[in-house]
C-alpha cells in the first residue's frame, strides 16, 4: 500500500469555517472556533492520521483586504504558508454568496499559479447543510466559475457530511513519503499557545463586532502550585487579555466582573482538558492603546 504524507492548508475569507473543518478532519479540537470573523491569529497545525496517509493541516487566519498593520502581517503569514504546502483547500461557505472577498482570494491563488508554484487548489464549499439542495447547486456553479480548481467538494463539518470524502481528495494530492509526526500526535502547537487561544475563544463568545480584532491574549506563566498534604496537583495559569480602549475593557469584564468570571469558567474547562490537571486560572484585562497599528506592541504581543 502506498503511503502519502504532506501539508494541506485551508484559506478563505474570515469566518468561512476553516477552523471547524480542521477540527472535524483531525477528530478533536485543535483550532479555536467562533462565530466572529478573524478568530484565528496563528497558523495551527492539526495532524490527520490514516492507515494510508498522514496529513498535516495548516489552519490560517482569514485572508482579507488589510486595514491595519496587524491585518498586513496576518495576510503575509497566509501567503508564506501557501508557498510551503502540497495542496490548498479554498473554503467558500454555502450560506453566503460568492463575493468580493472570495474573488480577492481567488486572484491571490491564481497569482501563485502564475508564479510557477503549481500547488493544486481544492474548492471546499463549507456549511453545505445550511442551504437547500437547489441553492447549493447554484453555489457550486458560482464557485466553479471563480477559478481553475483541482476538485470542488461540498462539506458540512458540523454534520460530518463528506468530511471523509474531502480527506480522500486532499490526501490524493499529497506526495508519497513516510509519516512526519509520531502516531497519536494531534498538533505541534505549544501548550502555551493553545491555552491563550482557549482564553481568547471564551472571551469572544457573544461580544460586539469590534472586539475580535482588538483582543490579544498572552499567557504570563504556567507554574505548578505547591501541594499541601493530600491536596490534588494544580497549576497556576496567569493570563493577560489586551484590548485597545477602556470601553472594550469594560465589555470583557462585564458588570461587577460577571462576564470575566464566565470567560474564566469556560476557558478553565478547556485548559484542564488540554493539560490533564486542575487549574487555577488568573485573568487580567489590560489596555494597550491602538496595539494593532503599533509595530513595537505587535512584537510584544507575538505578531
Binding site members for GTP: 12-19, 59-63, 126-129
Instruction: Confirm if 215 and 241 have CB atoms less than 8 A apart.
Output: yes
Phi, psi of 86 (to 5 degrees): -90, -25
Residues facing residue 287 across a β-bridge: 243
CA angle 243, 102, 174 (to 5 degrees): 95
Whole-angstrom distance, CA of residue 32 vs CA of residue 194: 9
Helices 258-275 and 246-253 pack at an angle, to 10 degrees, of 70
Phi, psi of 26 (to 5 degrees): -70, -30
Report which of 94, 57, 99, 62 is spatially closest to residue 78, judged by C-alpha positions: 62
Whole-angstrom distance, CA of residue 296 vs CA of residue 278: 35
Annotated binding site: 12-19, 59-63, 126-129
Report which of 30, 20, 37 is spatially closest to residue 207, judged by C-alpha positions: 37
Whole-angstrom distance, CA of residue 297 vs CA of residue 291: 5
SS3 per residue for 58-107: EECCCCCCCCCHHHHHHHHHHHHHHCCCCEEEEECCCCCCCCHHHHHHHH
Amino acid at each position: 500500500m502506498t503511503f502519502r504524507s504532506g501539508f494541506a492548508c485551508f484559506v478563505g475569507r474570515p469566518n468561512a469555517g476553516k477552523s471547524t473543518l480542521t477540527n472535524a478532519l483531525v477528530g478533536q479540537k485543535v483550532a479555536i472556533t467562533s462565530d466572529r470573523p478573524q478568530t484565528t491569529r496563528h497558523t495551527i497545525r492539526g495532524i490527520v492520521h490514516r492507515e494510508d496517509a498522514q496529513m498535516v493541516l495548516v489552519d490560517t487566519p482569514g485572508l482579507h483586504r488589510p486595514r491595519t498593520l496587524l491585518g498586513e502581517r496576518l495576510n503575509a503569514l497566509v501567503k508564506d504558508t501557501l508557498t510551503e504546502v502540497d495542496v490548498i483547500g479554498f473554503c467558500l461557505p454555502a450560506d453566503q454568496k460568492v463575493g468580493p472577498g472570495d474573488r480577492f482570494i481567488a486572484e491571490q491563488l491564481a497569482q501563485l499559479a502564475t508564479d510557477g508554484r503549481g500547488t493544486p487548489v481544492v474548492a471546499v464549499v463549507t456549511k453545505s447543510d445550511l442551504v437547500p439542495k437547489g441553492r447549493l447547486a447554484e453555489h457550486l456553479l458560482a464557485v466553479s466559475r471563480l477559478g481553475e480548481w483541482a476538485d470542488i467538494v461540498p462539506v458540512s463539518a458540523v454534520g460530518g457530511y463528506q468530511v471523509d470524502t474531502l480527506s480522500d481528495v486532499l490526501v490524493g494530492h499529497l506526495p508519497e513519503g513516510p509519516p512526519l509526526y509520531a502516531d497519536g500526535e494531534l498538533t505541534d502547537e505549544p501548550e502555551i499557545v493553545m491555552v491563550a487561544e482557549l482564553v481568547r475563544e471564551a472571551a469572544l463568545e457573544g461580544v460586539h463586532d469590534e472586539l475580535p480584532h482588538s483582543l490579544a491574549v498572552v499567557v504570563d506563566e504556567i507554574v505548578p502550585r505547591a501541594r499541601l498534604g493530600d491536596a490534588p496537583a494544580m497549576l497556576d495559569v496567569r493570563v493577560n487579555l489586551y484590548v485597545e480602549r477602556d470601553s472594550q475593557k469594560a465589555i470583557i469584564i462585564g458588570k461587577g466582573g460577571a462576564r470575566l468570571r464566565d470567560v474564566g469558567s469556560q476557558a478553565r474547562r478547556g485548559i484542564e482538558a488540554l493539560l490533564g490537571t486542575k487549574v487555577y486560572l488568573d485573568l487580567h484585562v489590560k489596555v494597550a492603546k491602538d496595539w494593532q497599528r503599533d509595530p513595537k506592541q505587535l512584537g510584544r504581543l507575538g505578531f
